[in-house]
Amino acid sequence: MNNSEQSNTGFENNHLLERLAQSLADRLAPTLPVSIQLWNAKTIAVYLQRSPAVVLERIVTLPDFPAPIRLPSTRAKSRNEIGQSIDRATGQPLWKAIEVIAWVDSHRGKRVGRPHNVN
């Protein structure tokens, strides 16, 4: 292989790497700061190392857990008794990430369950 062939192969490899890097960058979603993120039950489950079912059945139903946010949806319309269309926020429940994190931090060091019998 002569110098011009090596140079051409190097150029092609660099071009291929640039295309690959750009393709990956295009597919990766930009990360939002946690202060403005909204988490669904699946994301909370990953954070808490629990299953989404446990999160929905046992965690988010706790009285001190942050209140969910339900964004309105065009499908979330129903009719009242006199036939008027009314909006209902029946979208997927979402929670502010910082509120969930603060809730978890508030349980640091708390003992859960019955105290041990010291007798």
The pLDDT of residue 7 is 58
44 close to 59: Cβ distance less than 8 angstroms: yes
Domains of the chain: which residue ranges?
Answer: 32-70+91-107
Q: Give CA–CA dist 93/44, Å, rounded.
A: 11
pTM: 0.61
Is 32-70+91-107 a CATH 1.10.3470 domain?
Answer: no
b (16+ CB within 10 A) / e for 94-108:
bbbbeebbebeeeee
* pLDDT at 74 (0 to 100): 76
Q: Does pLDDT of 2 surpass 60?
A: no
**pLDDT value for 61:** 97
Using a 10 angstrom Cβ sphere, with 0-12 exposed, 13-18 middle and 19 or more buried, the burial of residue 41 is: buried
Distances (CA, A) of 78 to 75, 81, 94: 9, 10, 22
Q: Which has the higher per-residue pLDDT, 102 or 108?
A: 102
